[in-house]
Homo-oligomer: A and B are copies of this chain.
Amino acid sequence: MRDDIRKNFASDNVTPACPAVMQAIADANVGNVPSYGHDTLSLTLNQRFGEVFGAEVAVFPVATGTATNSLALSAMVPPYGAVLCDQSAHINTEEGGAPEFFTQGAKLIGIPSPEGRMDPQALPPVLQHNREKGVLAPPFAALSLTQATEWGTTYPCKTITQLTSIAHEYGLTVHMDGSRLGNAIAFLDCTPAETTWQAGIDVLSFGGTKAGAMAAEAIIFFLNERTRPMVASMAHRIKRSGHSWSKQRFLAAQLLALIDNDVWLENCRHANIMCQRLLHGLHKHPAAHLPFATESNEIFVVLPEPQLDSLREEGYQFYTYPTPQGVPGKLVRFVTSFYTRPEDVDALLTSLVS
């Protein structure tokens, strides 16, 4: 059974914490220090993330991605408002209604798109219709994009700029769910700035856990005239939702360990390379059908069901999804991570392709 620890491709959140994070936690575990973010590590977050993004930022560390997304949206959208997102967005389908809870009942309106990437052309009619409904429909107050998307694709920076321009024109602010931001940046070979605030993103959910942390994410406000008024409420929102750690040094330590020496980007780059290795192997599979481009560390592939049963018997773990109509087989997701080794991918491929 011990080998199974290398056969879990279900998600990048099944991983341990990476060594740099574990070391940082141990280093932080010294002495009494002020609680609730008044420790010296927490106090450097704004500056250090500001350097990473080349921008003035306000950073709020929390332990989970769901909290990060939901807290961000709660500062962007009034309870009577609405969030526009892709139909497949994590906030819309995987977070148990957390955005509705934190925003106090705002409505998420998801629009369909073929690969999890919203089409800029799809936005104006939806925004216009909403505006014309007046009080009958909750007014859109935020657009939320996911980078990389739920289907393993990424938004080109230019597309993000188009989307945020339209959103801003209609008075919305723009959130990015960056649970796998590092993977997107590694794929696009761009800077953190280029795919976020330089493309018009106002508020970012910075993903740490999937990139190697134990439990650490950050809500990052890129300071501008739209976001400055939001920042003041965040400490209250975080406390009120029980997401303020008394021993916050341990959240800060994880995040700082990830951005020191680009550990997060290195981890994500490795995960992407493992994913491409898997992709190349799958191309040799006679029956594999890949419905989406593979642009991060997730690969979606339709495989024959008997083969999936065999994999499971061997100890492999992975998620399956409703399969596109008319395609024989079952849609499967394999996720790689910083912890995936080439030999782990090769072993999986051997089971699959041989």
Contact = CB atoms under 8 A, between A and B. Distances in A.
A170 interface: no
A interface bracket (residues with beta carbon within 8 Å of B)? 35 or more
Contacts of A139: 236
Contacts of A14: 32-35, 246
Interface string A243-269: 111110010000000000000000000
Given A93-B137, A97-B240, A107-B100, A245 B16 contact: no
Given A70-B242, A236-B80, A239-B98, A5 B22 contact: no
Is the contact region of chain A dominated by helix, strand, or loop, or is it mixed?
A: loop
B16 A236 contact: no
Given A209-B247, A242-B67, A5 B31 contact: yes
A135 B36 CA distance: 10
A327 interface: no
A11 B29 contact: no
A339 interface: yes
A215 interface: yes
A64 interface: yes
Interface of A: 2, 4-8, 10-11, 13-17, 22, 25-26, 28-36, 62-68, 70-71, 78-80, 82, 93-98, 100-108, 129, 133-139, 209-210, 214-215, 233, 235-247, 250, 317, 322, 337, 339
Given A32-B339, A79-B101, 4 more contacts: A5-B30, A13-B35, A17-B247, A96-B240
